Chains A and B, each alone.
Chain A
Amino acid sequence: MKIPLIYNLRSLLRRPVSSTMTAVGVALVVAVFIAMLALANGFRMALVRTGSPDNVLVLRKGADSELSSGVSRTNAAIIAALPQIATGSDGRPLASPEVFVPMSLDAASGGGDRLVVTRGVSAQAFEVRQNVRIVEGQRFAQGRDEVIIGSAIAPRLAHSAVGDTIHFAGRGWLVAGHFSSGGSAFESEIWGENEQLMPILRGEFFQVVALRLRSAALFDEVKRVLEDDRRLQVDARRESEFYSSQNGVLRLILNFLAVFITGIMAIGAVFGAVNTMYAAVASRTGEIAVLLTLGFKPRSVLASFLTEATFLALVGGFLGCLVALPINGIVTSTTNWSSFSTIAFSFLVTPRILLEGIIFSVVMGVLGGYFPARRAARMPVVQAIR
């Protein structure tokens, strides 16, 4: 027969300070766990969202980033003529030969400078990268010294408001607008027209050509055609895969940190729970003996104490989720080591991460409660009742 839950609840409430401390300890561990995962997740999603599976990036053979790539004007024209490329509203192929270069720009506060990716794009870029939206102002005008700035990086740069003039590459550029792109890494970039940016940046060649395919299924065919073409010497990568594969080392470090820090914290919290539960068992020796005498099976006593520990940890888990929730959306920045430039991204708390936090707290409760519960269940009745 099961021991009613109300017994556990009342027991916990009889030791309010000790119960609260244990629950808060678990809550802190869960909060840090969630924060670390949200950080790693935010960074990953910023990269993943950058690419679309319908898009193809064409880079120089062997280049592992846009920074180290180069595609000549002639080759860009050959690539843009592929029949598999979708056509835009103006009837032209949706191919954007792009210039990609990190520029050093003045930071908004605290002085110093930031390396920010400056991307020169063609007029088709807004149809190739369909998640790009102007949130303030308008697009840059063709043939003028105008740029648009990503909404994540704009607050971190000086002279970045719409209508201001931002200086780089020895020239002033009118900020025509700000754009968003669904939280992707593009929001940490400055976009201008490729023909305006190319000559002053890195000479007569593009870094990448971004294509939109008529259908994602055509990728393998396009890849084969491009990579077999001896004139081109290029690699074709699916855009979504390309961006999500970047910064593997940094993501590895973030994940390692999450596991390492919360792992050690969790062991400490489990120790705390073990102490609390052992003390609970010790101070309730008489009660347990009575329960056993009344005919409750040792198994029920074990289950009861395990439930109590788990419940305590679960309360801590929920508390931890509540504490960690406000960090969702907080913007932070680090360096995208593939381009040596600033990437701004936000902590991203997902339901999945919250669930993982809750599961984590349950695991801590079960681990912390098992041995004390087993002791309670194995208690010799005659001795205990004395």
Chain B
Amino acid sequence: MRFFPLIWANLTRHKRRTILTTASVALALFLFASLRSVVTTLDAGARVGSESRMIVQSAKAIVFFLPMSYKERLAAVPGVAAVTWADWFGGVYQDPKNFFASFAADAESYLEMYRSDLELPADQRATFLRERTACIVGQHLLDKFGWRLGQDITLRGTIFEGDWTFTIRGVYRAVDPAFSEDALVFHYSLIYERYPQWVNPGWYVLQLRDPSHASQVAAAVDSMFKNSADPTKTGTERAFNAGFVTMWGNVSFLMNSIGMAVVFAILLVAANSMMLSARERTNEVGILKTVGFTDRLLFGLVMAEASIIALGGAVLGLGAAKALYRPSGFSAMGFLPGFDVTLGTLALGCGIAVLLALASGLVPALSAARLSAVQALRHVE
């Protein structure tokens, strides 16, 4: 520690260079944390949803409806505690760019099913259930469009033609941040009045009595409807959500390879500036050696300087990412709910910073250590 003033003096000799190098390390790690968080957020999205709930969908494809009559038959399957269903509504609010999820649901059983995941005040819940044209929206969605409780909003139906006006009677908060707060849920009966032949369950949700019986229940349900006009495909809710995540394609590969390129590019910048510093100080190294600094000590001094730059940059970059995304509620237009920099990402970022310090400091540190005093003093700028 007693050499800290010397390291500090070296760092502050070229203030501009030190600041620029630290800033580029910070930028690299900020970018790394951002890219990595896309992957972890998608993974968290794949894990949201309970193992004790199952989704029954059409075996043909998710866009097919299932008959309303399945509800009673599903409820009778051994091991099923409760049944609800919902259907994709696909409403557009003002402009198609304002994309968010909207569902028509069997409201009472739906809220009961997700009671532990959605925080909805009891009075709002009661009003919503009582009122035919009411809807509930996520807190984040409400804030995004600046809506108020009690406001009427109109969505243009893309699947169910026409304009649909709902009154916001409830605002829910998601208990798990990966559960989307960018959704709107309303009573299916509203569609039923206009298009009685069209509205049908897009998917059923089953609550299991015992999660360990999931595969038996799935087999029982699927074999029950196997030879009907609408065969089903049943899986856990978690697997259902994971399926949506894989639909994005090879996001993690893309993000990781870009992340690698970023880190490598910045490594070059950092190593370059460390080498520039070292080259300019060849004379000094000679003097220090002459006055009795050991090779090992000189090696340590250069490495310490590189580490301060790399770790300082890491703290700034990772800290900025952590401080920026979650508090600002960034969610990539609702595609990445609960976007946050995880502790794992922070740890990985710090690991990269250490590697960066080693890689950028090693060459100049070694050459400083190996240089003979005579040679160094002879060195002419």
Contact = CB atoms under 8 A, between A and B. Distances in A.
A295 interface: no
Contacts of B261: 28, 31-32, 265
Nearest to B381: A283
Interface string A255-283: 00000110011011101101110110011
Contact of A62 (B16, B59, B157): B157
Contact of B60 (A25, A61, A104): A104
Which interface residue of B31, B96, B275 has the most chain A CB atoms within 10 A? B31
A170 B63 contact: no
B371 interface: no
B57 to A, nearest CB: 9
Nearest to A269: B265
B92 interface: yes
A99 B381 CA distance: 78
Contacts of A60: 161
Name the prevailing secondary structure of the A interface residues: helix
B62 interface: yes
Contact of A18 (B21, B159, B272): B272
Given A248-B97, A268-B28, A102 B63 contact: yes
B39 interface: no
Contacts of A268: 23-24, 27-28, 262, 265-266, 269
Contact of A271 (B35, B156, B246, B269): B269
A294 interface: no
B158 A62 contact: yes
A249 interface: yes
Interface in B1-39: 14, 16-17, 20-21, 23-24, 27-28, 30-31, 34-35
B381 to A, nearest CB: 7
A65 B158 contact: yes
Contact of B249 (A101, A269, A333): A333
Contacts of B96: 64, 248
B246 to A, nearest CB: 7
Nearest to A264: B31
A7 interface: no
B253 to A, nearest CB: 9
B315 to A, nearest CB: 17
Given A64-B96, A68-B90, A170-B231, A249 B333 contact: yes
A103 interface: yes
Contacts of A64: 92, 96, 158
A367 to B, nearest CB: 12
B291 interface: no
B276 interface: yes
Contacts of B335: 249, 253
B275 A335 contact: no
A274 B60 contact: no
Interface in B249-289: 249-250, 254, 258, 261-262, 264-266, 268-269, 271-273, 275-276, 280
Contacts of B35: 261
A335 B249 contact: yes
A141 interface: no
Interface string B153-167: 000111101100000
B61 A278 contact: no
A264 B259 CA distance: 12
Interface residues of B, number: 57
B268 A271 contact: no
Nearest to B90: A68
A264 B243 CA distance: 32
A115 B272 contact: no
B198 to A, nearest CB: 10
B158 A68 contact: yes
Given A276-B272, A335-B248, A169 B262 contact: no
B325 interface: no
B280 A275 contact: no
Which interface residue of B60, B261, B265 has the most chain A CB atoms within 10 A? B265
B60 A279 contact: no
Q: Which 8 A-B pairs have the closest CB atoms?
A: A272-B269, A334-B249, A268-B24, A28-B265, A335-B247, A271-B20, A279-B276, A271-B24
29 contacts: A28-B264, A28-B268, A31-B261, A32-B261, A36-B258, A60-B161, A61-B161, A64-B96, A64-B158, A67-B63, A102-B63, A115-B61, A252-B333, A253-B332, A261-B35, A264-B27, A264-B262, A265-B27, A265-B31, A267-B24, A268-B24, A271-B21, A275-B21, A275-B273, A278-B16, A279-B276, A283-B280, A283-B381, A340-B61
Interface of A: 17-18, 21-22, 24-25, 28-29, 31-32, 35-36, 39, 60-65, 67-68, 101-104, 112, 115, 168-170, 201-202, 248-249, 252-253, 260-261, 264-265, 267-269, 271-272, 274-276, 278-279, 282-283, 332-335, 340, 342
Interface of B: 14, 16-17, 20-21, 23-24, 27-28, 30-31, 34-35, 59-64, 90, 92, 96-97, 99, 156-159, 161-162, 231, 233, 243, 246-250, 254, 258, 261-262, 264-266, 268-269, 271-273, 275-276, 280, 332-333, 335, 381
Given A25-B268, A340-B61, 13 more contacts: A28-B265, A36-B258, A62-B158, A64-B158, A65-B158, A102-B62, A115-B61, A252-B333, A265-B31, A268-B265, A279-B280, A334-B248, A340-B63
